[in-house]
Amino acid sequence: MRVALRSALFALVFYAGTVIAVLSAFLLVPFGPHVLRRQALLWAGFHRWCARFILGIRTRVEGDVPAGPHLFAAKHQSMFETLELLLIINDPEQQSAAKVGATVTVTGRVEQGMMTTCMQGTPFIVTTLRAK
């Protein structure tokens, strides 16, 4: 019962805040993309706050976020890690290996015996990533 109440409270608070964040984003469009990126980070921070104080979920990062462009992939079993990546990377556009519309070439190898939680296919080890 307690879990259901916390989940319902999270949904109420987070989605009400999301409506406000989305509507305010429309008002921020004239101020440029850097302001919208800041709004996205604030929204992700609000999500982290809701998860921490309503659901009792904390985020822990093990290791350092590498400098320069890298490919960051989320498991994406929920929305949680997608929003957390915004905060962990901090400025996704700066960390991005490619801009919108770029051609990205990924090379690597299939790793048949590797343990994975991927339900859609076989594990793939990325060895190089090039963007044009």
Please state the domain extents for the chain: 2-96, 99-132
Q: Identify any residues that bridge with 125 across adjacent strands, giving them in sequence order.
A: 109
The answer, yes or no, to whether residue 95 has pLDDT greater than 60, is no
Strand ranges for the chain from DSSP E: 104-110, 124-131
Alpha carbon distance 96, 88 (integer Å): 13
Confidence category of residue 128, pLDDT binned at 50, 70, 90: confident
Confidence category of residue 99, pLDDT binned at 50, 70, 90: low
- Which is more confidently placed, 119 or 123? 123
pLDDT confidence of residue 75: 63
Confidence category of residue 110, pLDDT binned at 50, 70, 90: confident
Of 15, 2, 18, 1, the C-alpha closest to 55 is 2
Task: Report whether 31 contacts 39 (CB < 8 A).
Answer: no
| Mean pLDDT lowest among 63-72, 106-115, 117-126 | 117-126
The answer, yes or no, to whether residue 112 has pLDDT greater than 60, is yes
| Mean pLDDT across the chain | 81
